[in-house]
Amino acid sequence: MSFISGRRTGQRGTRRFTRRDLVVLGVLLGIPVLLDIAIVWGPTLASVALSFTSWDGIGDIKWVGTRNYANLFTNYPQFWPAARHNLLWLGFLGLVAAPFGLLLAVLIDKGVRFSRFYQSTLYMPVVLSLAVVGFIAQLIFSRDQGALNAIVGDTRTPTDWLGDPDLNIWMILLAAAWRHTGYVMILYLAGLKAVDPSLKEAAAIDGASETQTFFRIVFPTLRPVNVIVGVITVIESLRAFDIVYAVNHGRNGLELLSVLVTDNIIGEASRIGFGSAIAVVLLAVSLGFVVTYLVQELRGEKNR
């Protein structure tokens, strides 16, 4: 979509700006850059620094080296379940919700009738906040009156879908996937619209079946969308918070790293250093993906 009009970036820095231009540039570039540093990058670095300290938010900040991390990995019973849940989240959204979104996009892209209706319905959940999704999930999965138990017909010994710590994460994943599928579908639909139809026709003439055409011709051209979907899936899985917090504040089987961070800073015991250590774990995982993505973008940018 976005081609620079043929010119390479950064080669014409000789254009002179008037003094007024420089003021405009300084102020209107300066404010957002400062804001980005103050709100995003500064705090990120501060989190890293604070993770090596012990602090309750009021008294002295004490340097404790890697003690927070040692405690986190060995001595904090919620940590590993939370990390596992985040991974599960990533796996479920990436291997179930995203492919399902792709399937829906492919079917709708065939131009069947009522496709407008299907599209709108399927991505309607995307506009809901995850907190609202969490509340709605309670209506469906609640033990005594929930719709799911009514359908299953299990009234004698009702299943406690959200209360059973072995079960609830899966129900929440279903609810999260409800929203994620639609999101992924929009992205793929846009991508599919951009695929050159002559490619498909050529494949059909060569006698390729529908499935072959899709996997050999169409899917490879969707690569940029695949990257975006991958990034969004990773980010959403690491950010996941609202939905479990709305259901039960992320306890009893619904622990997530994000919840542990929040609990440690706004909970009763303000453990800033320890909370930061958890945040840094989250950062380390996400940075791996973010950097991979950016390197790819950068390469694309250079080729333009």
Residues in 243-282 at the binding interface with another protein, rule: CB under 8 A: 245-246, 257-258, 261-262, 265-266, 272, 275-276, 278-280, 282
Which one of residues 102, 105, 108, 218 is an interface residue with another protein (CB under 8 A)?
108
Instruction: Please identify, using beta-carbon distances, which residue of 142 and 166 lies nearer to another protein.
Output: 142
* Minimum gap (Å) between residue 80 Cβ and another protein: 18
- From 111, 205, 207, 268, residue interacting with another protein (rule: CB under 8 A): 111
Q: Which of 178, 199, 208, 251 binds another protein (CB under 8 A)?
A: 178
The structure tokens 């993906």 sit at: 289
Query: Which span (66-74, 76-84, 87-95, 232-240) binds another protein, by CB under 8 A?
Result: 232-240
Report the Cα 282 to chain-centroid distance in Å. Answer: 13
Q: Scanning residues 56 to 75, which ones bind another protein (CB under 8 A)? A: 57
Q: Least Å distance between CB 284 and another protein?
A: 10
Residue located via tokens 């991958």: 230
Give yes or no for residue 241 binding another protein (CB under 8 A).
yes
**Segment 192-211, which members bind another protein (CB under 8 A)?**
194, 197, 200-201, 209-211
Calculate ∠ Cα 211-227-180, nearest 5°. Answer: 80
Contacting residues for 125 by C-beta, under 8 A, at least 6 apart: 133, 178, 179, 182
Cα-flanking dihedrals φ and ψ of residue 112, to 5°? Answer: -65, 160
CA pair distance 216, 233, nearest whole angstrom:
24
Site for another protein in 40-59 (CB under 8 A): 40-44, 46-47, 50, 57
**Three-class secondary structure of residue 21 per DSSP:** helix
CB 261 within 8 A of CB 275: yes
Residue 191 neighbours by CB under 8 Å, 6+ apart: 105, 222, 224, 225
Say whether residue 147 binds another protein (CB under 8 A): yes
The HSE-up count of residue 260 (CA atoms within 13 Å, CB side) is 28
For another protein, the closer of residues 87 and 190 by Cβ is: 190
Which of 70-78, 89-97, 162-170, 181-189 is the region at the interface with another protein (rule: CB under 8 A)? 181-189
